[in-house]
Amino acid sequence: MWVEWTFSLLVVVGLIVLSRGRPVRKLVLAALRYSGDCPKHVAVIMDGNRRWARRKSMAFRDGHRRGGKTMVDFLTWCRDADISTITVYAFSIENFKRPKGEVDYIMDLAIQNVEDMLQPWSAVHKERIRVRFWGEMDMVPKTLRVLAAKLTCVTSKYEGASLNICFAYTSRVEIAQAIAAVTNAISDGIVPDEVNEELLAEFLESGTCRGGLMSDGWPDVLIRTSGETRLSDFLLWQSAFSHLAFLRVMWPDFNAFHYSRVVLSYRRAKADMDRRAARYQEYMRRIHTSHPLQHETKEALYNIRHMYANNLATTAAGSC
C-alpha cells in the first residue's frame, strides 16, 4: 500500500511541475493510470467561467471562451488518463434566465465550438471521440441543432472515448419526462407490476439501455469546479454512486494536476463506493427476479432510444 501511495505522490509532484508539456504529461498520466484504479466515466460541471473573468477584470465572453479551450484541452488527454466516457454539463435550462446578451453569446460560442469540432484538425477527430448531445435541443437555435446532429452523425462510428454534451438539460426535466413515458407505456400495455426503479431508470433519456447516453455505465466520478458544493440539477439519478469531487479551481484553470487529485481521492473512497454499489445491485437483482421486465418491454425501451438517436441524426438532413 505504501508503495502505491508513494508512487501516486510522485505522480502528483510530476504533474505540478510538468503538466504543461503534453509528451511529459502523457507519460505522467500513464504512470497515474498504472499505479491504481482510475475512473472510466467522468462527469464534469464546468463552473466558474464568469467568476474567472471577473477576477481578471475581463469580459464574461473571455471567461466562456477560455472555458471552451479548457474542455478541448481535457479531450486531448482523456485517453492518456484512461477515461473512456466524459459527460459535461455545458448549458442548463436554468441558464436561459441569464441576460439575453449573455445567452446569445453562449449560443454563438457553442455554434463556433461545434463547428471547430467538425474540422479534421480537431481533438474530436484526432482522438476518434464519439460525440452525443442530450437535452431539450428544441430550445436552442436551429443552427446549433443541425450542427450538433451532424457532429453526432459523423462521429458515431468512432471507437475512442465518448463525449456526452448535456445542453439545455436539467435532471428534474429528464426524470419528469421518464415518469410521463412510464405512464404512457402503461396505457400502451406495459404491466403495472413491471413499474419499478429498474424500469424508470431505463426510461431516462440518458438511460443505460441500448442507445442511451449512459449505455457505457453511470459516472464513476462527478467533478464540479469553482468551489460550489451542489449538483445544480445535473445527473441527480445517475450520480447516486459517483464519487463527488468539489474543487475550488475555476474551470478555465482546470488542468491535469487537478484531475490527478480527483483520482487520488477517488481511490481512497472506492472501497466504500463499491460496497454501496454492490448492495444496490443486489437490491436491483431481487427486484428483477420478483418482477422481471418482459422481452417486449425491453425492446420497446430500445426502440425509444434508437428512434431518438435517428431523429437527432436526421435533423441535419443529408449530413452523413
How far apart CA 164 and CA 226 sit, in angstroms, is 21
The Cα–Cα gap between 44 and 46 comes to 6
Strand-pair category, 85-92 with 162-169? parallel
Query: What pTM, to 2 d.p., does this model score?
Result: 0.82
Return mean pLDDT, the chain: 82
| The pLDDT of residue 232 | 96
- Cell numbers standing for residue 292: 422481471
Q: How far apart are CA 251 and CA 248, in angstroms?
A: 9
CATH number assigned to the domain with residue range 38-314, chosen from the 4 options 3.30.70.890, 3.30.750.24, 3.10.310.10, 3.40.1180.10: 3.40.1180.10
Residues 6+ apart with CB under 8 A from 235: 43, 87, 89, 166, 171, 206, 218, 219, 222, 242
Domain coordinates in residue numbering, the chain: 1-36, 38-314
pLDDT in tens, 144-195: 999 999 999 999 999 989 999 999 999 999 898 888 878 877 776 676 777 7
